[in-house]
Every structure is written in C-alpha cells, then in structure tokens.
Amino acid sequence: MTLPEAFVARTVRDLGADEAAALCAALDTAPAVSVRLNPAKTAAQGVPRVADGAAPVPWCAEGRYLDSRPSFTLDAAFHAGAYYVQEASSQFVGRLVGDIAGRRVLDLCAAPGGKTTLYASLAGTEGLVVANEIDRRRVQALCDNVRRWGTGNVAVTCCDPRTVCDAEAWFDAVAVDAPCSGEGMFRKDDEARAAWSEGNVRLCAARQDEILAEAWRALRPGGTLVYSTCTFNREEDEGTLARFARSVGGELTESDRVAVDPAWGIVCGREGAFQTFRFFPHRARGEGFFAAVARKADDAPGRSRLPRGRRQPIAAVDRAAAAELRRWVAEPDAMRFGSAGDCCYGWYEAQAEAVAALSSALPVVYSGVAMGQLFKGRLKPDAALALFAGMERGALPGAELSDEEALRYLRRQEIDAARLAEGMNLVGCEGRPLGFAKRIGGRVNNLYPNAWRILKN
C-alpha cells in the first residue's frame, strides 16, 4: 500500500526533500525483528535459543536483534516468559525513566505490556509498576503478559486516565505512551497507513493533551515524566510537549542529561525543558518512534494521596493458609499473602500495603502473583504461579519435556504420563517452567489454561 499523499507532503515540509525521500524509502523495507530478555528468568535459566548469539540493541542491555522472524507462537521459551517481542526503538524508554529500583511507576497507557514489563524489570522486587489500560478488550492481553513476565511487582488497573491519576503525587515516575496516529508503524502495518488521516492526527493531539494533564497530577514533585509516541509529526510530538509546558509553567524542569551515542542514529533535540529523541528507520535500527523526558520541579505543589477507599477486596489469610502459601515461594519472608475472591495472591512485602491501598480505591484487575485456591489446607496452584520468577521450584516434582512434548502441553493436548510423578507436577522445557499438570495413574490432566493454549499448527 502506498504512503498517504498528505503524509508525504508534510514530511517533505518538516524534513526537507532528501531526508523525506530517505524516510519514505525506508518505510517500504522490511522492519527489524527484536526481542527483550527477561533478566529475572535468564539469569538462572540462560539466554533462550531464539536470542543466542543475537546482536545487542545498543540502548537496552536486554535487547536483541534477530536475523529473521521466527514463529514465536511455537517457541516454548516465549510462553515461559523468557523474553518479550518488543520493537527495538521502544526499548529506549528504559534509559529515560532513570533509576526506578524500589520506586512507584505509573504506565498510563499500558497495553499490551511491552513497556510495562520493561519497567517491572527495572523497578525490581521492592518497586511497584501500576499498568493502566482504559480498553477492557485490551486489558486481558496486558494481564496475560504481566503473568508471563512473572516479576510479581505489577498492579493492572482498567479505568480512564483521570480515575487512576486521582492517586495524586503518588508516583515517582509516570510514563505516557500516548495513543497516536501510528505513522511509525507504516513499515510493518498496512492498516496503519489505511487508517491515517490529518483529522486523526488532530484528534490524537487533543487526546494527548488531556492525558498529559492527568499524568501530571499523579507525578510527585521531583518525579520523572516520560512521553512517547510511535508517530513522526510535530503536532503530536513537540507540539504536544509545547502545549503541555505552557499549561504547567514553572512546575516543569529539566531531567538529568540522557547520554546517546551518535552511532545509534537517534536524532536528539530539545523542546523547552524536555529532552527529545527521534527514531527514523533510515537512521536508527528500529521503527519510527518519538520519546521525551523532563521532571516535575522539586518545589511544585502537590501532596501525595490516594482517593478514599470504598471497599476492601483483599482479605488476610489465616496462619495455616499463610504457612501453605509460604512453601511455594523462594523468599517467603520477603512476601505477604492474602485473598481476593476465591484466589490467594502473593505480593512483595515492600509494596504490599501500597497495593492494598490502591486496590481499595481503584479498579485493580490483577496484582502481584495469583497463587491459586486452597482446598482442605492445600494449594491448587494457579497457572500464573508456575511463571512467577520467585516460585520455589522444589515445592513439587518437576517434569522436563522435549520441544515437541512442550508444544503438545501448550496446545492442551495429552502428554506422556511416564515423565510425571504421581500427583501435581511443574511442567517445563529447557529448565523453564510452563505450567502445571496432574498425573493420576496412567492419565495426565493438562492444567494449562484453555485461554492461553496454542491454536496454531
């Protein structure tokens, strides 16, 4: 599909004829393929085969370029959460958000979860990432990717930005990956070309203005604001930042300088207090992307508070239940346990109270790690527990499957009972847990979630 004429004309005006021609030519070439490794899993389990020997993404320590696009759906390591298929340019936000270890981060427009999982890795077990998605149709994919990543330090909310940002001055960093006209996706998505219009650019810019205003309320004084889009036009990029800066005035200040190697091909700039970074596919090895960073001034007004809680969805578990749950995690003293509905959950101690307070005030649809249900004092484990990087793998027998057997398991097909011990087993491939299965004599109950099963042949 050809590029929209109005887009080409505007690109010539903005970049000049030669630069615009180079960009438009690049948009008709094959996109780069990249993944980001999960350090919580690869540290113990090693680099998955798909990325073994792959070239690094220079601006992201865990990023890797692949020579070709494999069938990720048929790779057990992908389902085990060993890596996330993430476009290389978008991995750059990890450099912008700064040192967020042990901090609270709001990913305001989070689905499907690429940047959320990146922030979760950087925040560590003492940090908390709140991942918000307004679209109920997309929030399930976000939850699934959070479960698969398995860091246990994410709370997923499903509400409009205004509602989640009623957690005023509560976050150390707020990231806005704003809904945009998607020009940066033209190389890999013909639908993005077909849907593009100048009217949609203006509509997106207006929406971005509203989202940034809400994001600002949620950011504490001294905190970091990261803004990004996957589009090229200035109206949604520098224009949005300029309008936002005028609205907040002296409350906005520069962040620490972000170093960029010129060899990376990133076009660096500035829009007021914001450092800006443009990724053009004819210059940098990645898709079209724009990102910017600034800080909220230390003396900006704002008192940290959560909206008043109206419910208590998380209940404490008794001592016997806590003892059963503790044996399923590698660091029980670092965790706290509770129940929501009929499922038991675990949260890291450092942020457990914050998650409880958040859950009482906002629509949290998933948080921590779902551990499962208790029956007569014994845990029937949830599939998410198998993918939790902090699971105690000695809590039950393990069954190691071949590649072919792993795909049968992931399709919820029958697997050979001979490999399993009697009773509940942790099933994995190449040392990477995938889920649970229960052997009863010569029969195996495949407990992989039906909603997650592979349908592709």
Active site residues per annotation: 230
Residue with token string 């001055």? 169
Element (H, E) at 344: strand 343-348
What is the rounded distance in angstroms from the CA atom of residue 38 to the CA atom of residue 120? 10
My answer on whether omega of the bond before 112 falls inside 30° of 0, hence cis, is yes
What is the rounded distance in angstroms from the CA atom of residue 337 to the CA atom of residue 64? 36
Print burial letters for 23-44: b (CB count within 10 Å at least 16), e (below 16). bbebbeeebbbbbbbbebbbee
Residue with token string 């389902």? 79
Residue with token string 């105690």? 392
Query: Tokens in use for 38?
Result: 């999960």
Query: Tokens in use for 254?
Result: 């520069």
